[in-house]
Structure 1
């Protein structure tokens, strides 16, 4: 018919019934071979390698529960109990009257004598061998007069404190039992991965033998609990009383000691718990068992974080390593030739990614051994050999991190350094007395004034601080500071590195160069 358009349907091929049957059988065979051989099918995801969630934790819990114990401690508490000073609004006429009354009421003045009382606390722990050695947290047994271990069958045993380590919050106990105790073994925490299933067993709120499950949420967490923070984070429910209990992997091995929780509301679990990794805890336990204390390697430096600006001022490609703020005289670092201003990039073959990695790496090094340390100095890498000594308590402060700035000192006039937003004067008897500068600070220039809106002020520099070096060059005048600033500008750098000294010690501060 004129004016109409006809669309022809595509031709459908015709097959004989026998041929169709053969094709169907062939297609079925191809699919079956693909399924059996695991052949990859386009559009399908790769085969999962991770272990599937177990249908039940019952068999595992039944096997592990006997080795997990409750820990009860008692402690004698003394204190004066008497009338307390009421609170009044500032300036209230009653405040002065009541203050005179309470000042006259010394101990025993009209007050009944108080008797010592007993405080009790609860925690968790786990047996690590049949002889009765038990691991828990230091804070569970700290200050305790008596420690009692309660087994799953309610047997109560008096425990001896073999040793404890506040820095990692790990403690080791020993009990004497009439028979061999069930125990659990440490696993390799370094092999654990984010997303792995874990099980926590403990004594939350005094409810013994409680089992919870979750996953590893994160690793290597720093919660500012100590110098060797490297926590495993988990969402397995951990509450008060779980402290010191074990965190198990799916093989029933201890990969962590439950230590802390994040709880903004009343101490209950919100799914953020932290466990000390087993590799760290096990090394501490081994020392406690052998020596009753932990023996750690010592370097003898005070360190601080390498920021992006510090890295730029030193010519480093990125922020990494640990910046040496000061070196303790006579220590291993001083003997090896490590200097203030060096950035330690590697220790015994392991990269130091950030400042907090160095204390743990040094502490884990065998005492008396000699290791290679790679440092960044004068714009290039250098290797020094360090003989590691033993860390003593009085030397522990040398491994501390960054310190806060001192309180402001009186202002005096000085020579301006406009590009840094501050003024300085030479270090002499007059400025030393005016700003109460410690006697051990022997060189540099004194900051006498600074612009409150300057980068130097934002970085914590205050009047009374002494600038000893600029870009790792000693300075004694404002002119020398300006010369180093100009050299930094000529090399294309946007900041200069100042060594600042005060009563808190030495530290490095990267300060942006202003336009002036």
Structure 2
């Protein structure tokens, strides 16, 4: 687990929820929801539907069910020429030097050796070692990852079947419910701590363009717990432990986990499609607060108000309008913006969601088909771009270009950039994210980057990155 001062998510959230739904308006707080209880397709991963019972239950049963399915994950760098310094030396008895770059935990989710962990645990590894609770060690292969959610899928090849933890339904987790955190803090194997669900749909990100949705718990989680299991008293996986907030980098009562419904969707996408299928509703908006409620004469204090509708999106085709207030999607109540983003992140392009909204004081329900989000991340520039529509180009007086869909850094004013159009990079016309990728890959890294940008007022500007 990475040490963090103030609020640090243990991941290169270079793409926080690439949803197509972004914050435009000021909000007081954040929440989230997850996946619909009625699946569009039956899951092919082990899933448990055991109902939660009362809390007067001995934790030993849940601990025994899960402790053997949580592994120690080591991120190892291999230097074929030998260690470059004493700090890179680790005597494993193999050729060349090896150094431990980082360590965390992982959760076995299938008996044939698929393991979920955090992306930051395995990021940059030249070799990944997985040690089971019985001290057997395997070399793991990275199958895929989603840096935005800090989730990675790795695989080992065991001699026989392994103990695993079935996915639970994180939507059913209730505030105040007992949970166990299982992992390897400070390299101490097989550690179990207990706590409760302190909050759901918690958004820690200070970057307003990248809302997140975590389960918050007061179960003790420390460095090394990253990628470990958050389980309920039935021994079902309801979250992947990911982050803490602490001035010291160690546990002080707050820890955060990626909800299991989101993690399972990512894993299934990687296993079935090879990458993460991200669907978008096609709106930008924000959580209703007192000021917004007063300004719009709303008689409600919770929900998501639509600030803009993406042309060509499912939201536009279904008639969603600016200033509509979204209160519910399928069976999920939408109180805050991260309720919406958390739930949409558990869905796929082509899925149809039922959106309940209020327009001009009247309730209305519409079906929206989610469309696929295709983006390209530009870490050097600090933002991500997506393909545009003809309507967007006309709106911003741009002859061609790609749209800035979200920020991945806090160094730039997101409110001024998100939604704008980039028509040229280094004096080369840009028509798609494919053009952007080609230009960025072929440029000389030592040269500055010059973009021609059309802002939300349709004004043409030039910006330079050195």
Give the shorter-chain TM-score range.
Answer: 0.5 to 0.7
Alpha-carbon distance in structure 2 between the residues aligned to 1:352 and 1:61: 33
* Partner residue in 2 for 1:231: 214
Displacement of 1:164 after TM fit?
A: 1.0
Asked which structure has the greater CA Rg, the reply is 1
The answer to whether the aligner puts 1:318 opposite 2:300 as a matched pair is yes
Is this contact kept in 1: 2:201–2:339, CA < 8 A?
A: no
Is this contact kept in 2: 1:167–1:228, CA < 8 A?
A: no
Displacement of 1:370 after TM fit?
A: 4.1
Q: Residues 177 and 439 of structure 1: is their aligned pair in 2 closer, same or farther, counting only changes over 3 Å?
A: closer
Q: CA RMSD in A?
A: 3.7
Q: Residues 271 and 253 of structure 1: is their aligned pair in 2 closer, same or farther, counting only changes over 3 Å?
A: same
For 1:172-321, list aligned pairs within 5 A: 172-224=153-205, 227=210, 229-265=212-248, 267-321=249-303
Displacement of 1:191 after TM fit?
A: 3.0
Determine helix, strand or coil for the equivalent of 1:356.
Answer: helix
Alpha-carbon distance in structure 1 between the residues aligned to 2:194 and 2:266: 26
Alpha-carbon distance in structure 1 between the residues aligned to 2:354 and 2:172: 26
Displacement of 1:389 after TM fit?
A: 0.9
Alpha-carbon distance in structure 2 between the residues aligned to 1:377 and 1:239: 46
Higher relative contact order (CA 8 A, sep 6+): 2
For 1:399-418, list aligned pairs within 5 A: 404=414
Alpha-carbon distance in structure 2 between the residues aligned to 1:248 and 1:256: 7
The TM-score normalised by the length of structure 1 is: 0.56
Q: Residues 122 and 330 of structure 1: is their aligned pair in 2 closer, same or farther, counting only changes over 3 Å?
A: same
Is this contact kept in 2: 1:308–1:318, CA < 8 A?
A: no
Displacement of 1:131 after TM fit?
A: 0.6
Alpha-carbon distance in structure 1 between the residues aligned to 2:184 and 2:256: 16
Determine helix, strand or coil for the equivalent of 2:337.
Answer: coil
Determine helix, strand or coil for the equivalent of 1:357.
Answer: helix
The answer to whether the aligner puts 1:354 opposite 2:336 as a matched pair is yes
Alpha-carbon distance in structure 1 between the residues aligned to 2:152 and 2:311: 33
* Partner residue in 2 for 1:142: 123
Alpha-carbon distance in structure 2 between the residues aligned to 1:328 and 1:381: 22
Determine helix, strand or coil for the equivalent of 2:292.
Answer: helix
Displacement of 1:354 after TM fit?
A: 1.8
* Partner residue in 2 for 1:101: none
CA deviations 1:329-351 (Å, max 9, x no partner) are: 33333333434443334434644
* Partner residue in 1 for 2:112: 131
Determine helix, strand or coil for the equivalent of 1:244.
Answer: coil
Q: Residues 192 and 339 of structure 1: is their aligned pair in 2 closer, same or farther, counting only changes over 3 Å?
A: closer
The TM-score normalised by the length of structure 2 is: 0.62
Displacement of 1:182 after TM fit?
A: 1.7
* Partner residue in 1 for 2:137: 156
Displacement of 1:289 after TM fit?
A: 1.9
Alpha-carbon distance in structure 2 between the residues aligned to 1:350 and 1:198: 22
Alpha-carbon distance in structure 2 between the residues aligned to 1:237 and 1:248: 13
Is this contact kept in 2: 1:200–1:248, CA < 8 A?
A: yes
Query: Which structure has greater helix proportion?
Result: 1
Alpha-carbon distance in structure 1 between the residues aligned to 2:330 and 2:232: 30
Query: Which one of 67, 71, 74 corresponds to residue 72 of structure 1?
Result: 74
Alpha-carbon distance in structure 1 between the residues aligned to 2:217 and 2:339: 22
Q: Residues 118 and 282 of structure 1: is their aligned pair in 2 closer, same or farther, counting only changes over 3 Å?
A: same
CA deviations 1:58-81 (Å, max 9, x no partner) are: 56544432221100012479xxx9
* Partner residue in 2 for 1:449: none
List alignment gaps of at least 5 residues for structure 1: 1-48, 82-115, 408-436, 444-465, 467-501, 505-516
Alpha-carbon distance in structure 2 between the residues aligned to 1:148 and 1:273: 25
Is this contact kept in 2: 1:303–1:399, CA < 8 A?
A: no
Determine helix, strand or coil for the equivalent of 2:175.
Answer: coil
* Partner residue in 1 for 2:55: 51
Is this contact kept in 2: 1:69–1:150, CA < 8 A?
A: yes
* Partner residue in 2 for 1:45: none
Aligned residues: 333
